[in-house]
């Protein structure tokens, strides 16, 4: 009985060292992931994502995607920002198209009937998401293959898995020792 409790206590010390060895260097990264994950979960309620505007004149024919693109590029060039488009989220049932840009976080919403800009907002949720997954550094250093994102996400995820595993054993071992002693 005494040998078994010694073995369990020794295992518990090993798991405690492993837990500390992993937790200390990764505490900042896990805090960042947790805090930004919470913000992303609440992004609609905290209005970090621009709400979709509705078109006013939806009884006309829809304009072409080329007209939407040209209007977005012409508008954004007046603000001296990069006009390289990342994507156009075309929503004909709402009468709007959301234009997102590659090199900044501006979102333009364009009326799909008139071609007018109906909203210009910053996409704060995109910035938070990039901080959350580590791709903000790839964005700042213009890394196309996203090596920082892959390393940061993989290392932090593996650390969290190890902490969950060692934390479970740190919880279980004392209970096993207590059960043997009683």
> Rounded mean pLDDT of 19-35?
94
168: Cα within 13 Å, side-chain hemisphere:
5
Reply yes or no on whether the pLDDT at 53 is more than 90.
no
Question: Distance (Å, rounded) from C-alpha 54 to C-alpha 57?
Answer: 9
- 8 Å CB contact between 134 and 146: no
Which tens digits make up the pLDDT trace of 96-148?
999 999 999 999 999 999 999 999 999 999 999 999 999 999 999 999 899 99
Backbone φ and ψ of 62, nearest 5°: -70, 140
CA distance 149 to 133: 6
Residue in this structure with the two tokens 């505007």, named with its chain if needed: 53
pTM score above 0.85: no
Give per-residue pLDDT as tens, 144-171.
899 999 999 999 999 999 999 999 999 9
Residue 48: closest CA among 57, 38, 56, 61: 38
Quote the tokens at residue 180.
Answer: 């043997």
Task: Say what the pLDDT of residue 58 is.
Answer: 62
């Amino acid at each position: 009985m005494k040998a078994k409790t010694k073995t369990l206590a020794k295992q518990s010390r090993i798991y405690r060292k492993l837990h500390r060895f992993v937790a200390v260097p990764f505490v900042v990264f896990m805090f960042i992931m947790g805090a930004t994950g919470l913000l992303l979960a609440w992004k609609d309620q905290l209005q970090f994502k621009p709400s979709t505007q509705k078109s006013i004149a939806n009884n006309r024919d829809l304009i072409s995607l080329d007209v939407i693109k040209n209007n977005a590029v012409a508008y954004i060039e007046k603000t001296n920002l990069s006009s390289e488009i990342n994507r156009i989220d075309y929503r004909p049932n709402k009468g709007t198209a959301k234009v997102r840009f590659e090199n900044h976080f501006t979102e333009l919403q364009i009326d799909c009937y008139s071609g007018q800009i109906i909203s210009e907002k910053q996409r704060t949720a995109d910035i938070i998401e990039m901080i959350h997954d580590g791709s903000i550094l790839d964005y700042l250093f213009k890394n196309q293959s996203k090596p920082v994102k892959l390393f940061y996400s993989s290392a932090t995820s593996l650390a969290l898995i190890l902490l969950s595993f060692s934390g479970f054993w740190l919880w279980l071992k004392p209970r096993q020792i207590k059960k043997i002693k009683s």
